Structure 1
Amino acid sequence: MEIRTYAEELERQILSPRACLAAQSKGRAVDIPPCPMRTCFQRDVDRVVHSKAFRRLMHKTQVFLQPEGDHYRTRMTHTLEVSGIARSMARALGLNQDLTEAAALAHDLGHTPFGHAGERALSRMVEGGFRHYEQSLRVVDRLERDGAGLNLCYEVRDGILRHTTGPMAETLEGQLVRYADKIAYINHDIDDAMRGGIIYPTDIPVHISQVLGFTHGERIERLVLDIVANSQEGMEIHQSPKVAKAMAELKNFMFEAVYFNPKAKGEESKAEDMICHMFEYYCKHNDKLPCEYQDILVREGVERAVTDYIAGMSDAYAVEKFEELFIPMRWMIK
């Protein structure tokens, strides 16, 4: 028996009847021969991890722009935390950890440089707006592997597209990724904000901490256990009303105290201006786009090509290109 076949049979035996089994996947847009060792979802995990877009996440902002210190989160560390939380919940519920991990690792591949500041800037410039979850799907479908895409399974793609807003994912595994994303970013943003002196532990309203916990670990454990306890049946992931209310209040607190705090976010207007200026420049001078985006320009238009190029930039690369385009070089007489 092939290792993959054995793994698929093991899934049938040990996973919940509600789990999405690899052998029952709706498949890929382009059929490929099955791997002798890995299930289709295990294969997708590897495809994401080995992608260029995944490697760039380590150089993209999560919340704080270019913080001084090695311990602040990046888009990469956020993604890894989401993956860990999602897999823990999937394991506890008897769901497919491989599918959960693949969707979690890919969910932010389309995020812009400078975090949500970059997303806001592109959304102003692009007709119809810009949404990072749609761009993440475009990365895995169209942009990776020199335009061939990663050709991921339907269920992984569905989890990527629906990880933020709108209808819930079709699979419970995809739904877990949406909750894990929220659990991760709210809690690690609190941790980073405290590290940066933006807020202090006593700033969090006591009535929220009494429900969710007073420390980073307590909050994550409470949120995870609540989802596991309330999602034992049916085809939808749930929180208890009490915990959901406290989590919503904590999110509102973070918007007021951190996400809209001028001390923490004061530089974001500069980042947005950089993105907008570069977008206008490349739309007018599309011959300056790298060669790999010229095919997109011809087939899908200049705005699409420019959007793909800028959205894929790391923070440092975006600053480098902006300086190259708009900052005069020193002139020296030799």
Structure 2
Amino acid sequence: MPQSQMPRPTPESEPGDRWRAAYACRSSRSRGRLLSEPGSATRNHFQRDRDRIIHSTAFRRLKHKTQVFVSHEGDHYRTRLTHTIEVAQIARSVARALGLDEDLAEALALAHDLGHTPFGHTGEDALDACMRSFGGFDHNAQTLRIVTRLERRYAGFDGLNLSWETLEGLVKHNGPLIGPDGAPTARYAERGIPAAIVEYQQRQDLWLASHASAEAQVAALADDIAYNAHDIDDGLRAGLFGHAALRVVPFLADLLDEIERLHPGLETARATNELVRRVITHFVEDVIRSSEALLAALAPADADAIRHAGAPVIAFSDAIATADREIKAFLYPNMYRHPRVGVIRQKAADVVRDLFTRFSAAPQAMSEDWAAGVAAFDEARKARRIADYIAGMTDWYALDEHRRLFDATPALR
């Protein structure tokens, strides 16, 4: 029979199942979408989710959203988009090694930062303070809001109508949101679960009291691995610290010693590349080994057994978990709170606060499609519309809007 006439497997037959572990999520067993849709002839549910995320407006905006404030130093520093691509690559690698669904892990990695504001965590902190009287702002909840409401690409629904497993993973990749008693877990104990999550939970139960799938847990740790490595890289290239300063972290000191032993006198730029790739390799290989041991001990029969395991099954070893904490402890004062970065952070926060204040007083100053109907909103709904508008801005658009509305706009450098 000519190849063109050979019967093709349908996406839901999942020919790759023989390589998947019993506890992997399976598109053919998906709990489906909130709104039923015809199946695709060429893609399964998780592949369609990934593709919808990549083609979304929010994903394209990541190109011009800050990761850490070193962009003024040159063109080679990470943006939210390049960070996201790195997370997706690591997530796929780990998922493949553990016999998990690579497409779901990739979809979750690609979507995990869609809800971030302009100017990185500085923008989020400023917008959260502006929204304090109206439930605050949380980038994870904003991601859910984007993929379930704010994207408007389809004639039949708002959002992207993603599968249950993708939505669950986006909401719970860092762990359960409520305990067995229904009370918010530590992350949300003080202020409660964000309204966007509570509202969506009333439409579709995302099992807020359980852990997420192994694929979602992989995406969460891939995020940690990626930003540990590339923040070291970007911090070195920006001159915020040097190789010698990194030696306060024993894990990094050992890697630097290894590089010097194997490549004595190596130029700084190449030594930095050698260091970064070793950080990624050690972390990735460790999480695979450690997770294999945890999974072997649990022997989960299916994906739901992962959700109800009571603890994460994708985790670093104790040694690498210590290295992870020590790297973060180094980066916090030496990069995220470096005086040069701090000056820019303050200016960026001022831009966000100025925009929120102006739009609150004059909603018609927003673009026409965002300003439509706001005059009839109550204060809480108006504030949320303004937060949605600002959160969706790129760094450059936020600065352009500030220049349009104010006499003076700070230069972020």
- TM-score normalised per structure 1: 0.92
Q: 1:142 to 1:3 in 2, by over 3 A?
A: farther
Contact 1:212 1:243 in 2 (8 A): no
Matching residue of 1:332: none
Query: 1-side partners of 2:369 and 2:8: how far apart?
Result: 38
Matching residue of 2:282: 222
Do residues 180 (structure 1) and 180 (structure 2) align? no
**Counterpart among 132, 135, 146 of residue 139 in structure 2:** 132
Matching residue of 1:269: 346
Q: Deviations over 1:157-211 (max 9, x none)?
A: 1222234566585200000111011111111011001001001112112512256
Q: Give the match's secondary structure for 1:62.
A: coil
Instruction: Compare 294-303 and 258-267 and name the one that shifted more.
Output: 294-303
Do residues 288 (structure 1) and 365 (structure 2) align? yes
Query: 1-side partners of 2:151 and 2:7: how far apart?
Result: 29
Query: 2-side partners of 1:266 and 1:308: how far apart?
Result: 26
Q: Give the match's secondary structure for 2:108.
A: helix
Q: Deviations over 1:94-150 (max 9, x none)?
A: 100000011110111111000111001001011332111111111111111167101
Q: Give the match's secondary structure for 1:31.
A: coil
Query: 1-side partners of 2:110 and 2:119: how far apart?
Result: 19
Matching residue of 1:316: 396
Q: 1:212 to 1:110 in 2, by over 3 A?
A: farther
Contact 2:249 2:327 in 1 (8 A): no
Q: 1:217 to 1:327 in 2, by over 3 A?
A: same
Number of residue equivalences: 329
Do residues 171 (structure 1) and 178 (structure 2) align? no
Matching residue of 1:162: 172
Q: 1:212 to 1:137 in 2, by over 3 A?
A: farther
Instruction: Compare 256-265 and 267-276 and name the one that shifted more.
Output: 256-265
Q: 1:219 to 1:280 in 2, by over 3 A?
A: same
Contact 1:2 1:36 in 2 (8 A): no
How do 1:104-253 and structure 2 match up within 5 A?
A: 104-127=109-132, 128-145=135-152, 148-164=158-174, 169-204=211-246, 205-209=248-252, 215-232=275-292, 233=295, 234=298, 235=306, 236-253=313-330
**Counterpart among 11, 32, 40 of residue 27 in structure 1:** 32
Matching residue of 2:303: none
Amino acid at match of 2:151: E
Amino acid at match of 2:351: M
Query: 1-side partners of 2:137 and 2:174: how far apart?
Result: 14
1:292 deviates by 3.1
Contact 1:183 1:223 in 2 (8 A): yes
Contact 2:47 2:103 in 1 (8 A): yes
Query: 1-side partners of 2:100 and 2:67: how far apart?
Result: 28
1:4 deviates by 6.0
Contact 1:102 1:156 in 2 (8 A): yes
Contact 1:25 1:155 in 2 (8 A): yes
Give RMSD over aligned pairs: 2.2
Query: 1-side partners of 2:59 and 2:381: how far apart?
Result: 26
**Counterpart among 77, 91, 103 of residue 98 in structure 1:** 103
Q: Deviations over 1:12-62 (max 9, x none)?
A: 322110100011111111110010110010011110111111111001100
1:312 deviates by 0.3
Contact 1:8 1:22 in 2 (8 A): no
1:263 deviates by 1.6
1:66 deviates by 3.7
Larger Cα Rg: Structure 1 or Structure 2?
2
**Counterpart among 50, 53, 62 of residue 55 in structure 2:** 50
Instruction: Compare 123-132 and 141-150 and name the one that shifted more.
Output: 141-150
Q: Give the match's secondary structure for 2:36.
A: coil
Contact 1:65 1:268 in 2 (8 A): no
Contact 1:82 1:177 in 2 (8 A): yes
1:68 deviates by 3.1
Query: 1-side partners of 2:245 and 2:278: how far apart?
Result: 17
Query: 2-side partners of 1:11 and 1:239: how far apart?
Result: 27
Identity of aligned residues (%): 42
Contact 1:53 1:109 in 2 (8 A): yes
Query: 2-side partners of 1:172 and 1:179: how far apart?
Result: 11
Contact 1:296 1:305 in 2 (8 A): no
Q: Give the match's secondary structure for 1:109.
A: coil
Contact 1:27 1:153 in 2 (8 A): yes
Do residues 278 (structure 1) and 278 (structure 2) align? no
Contact 1:15 1:94 in 2 (8 A): yes
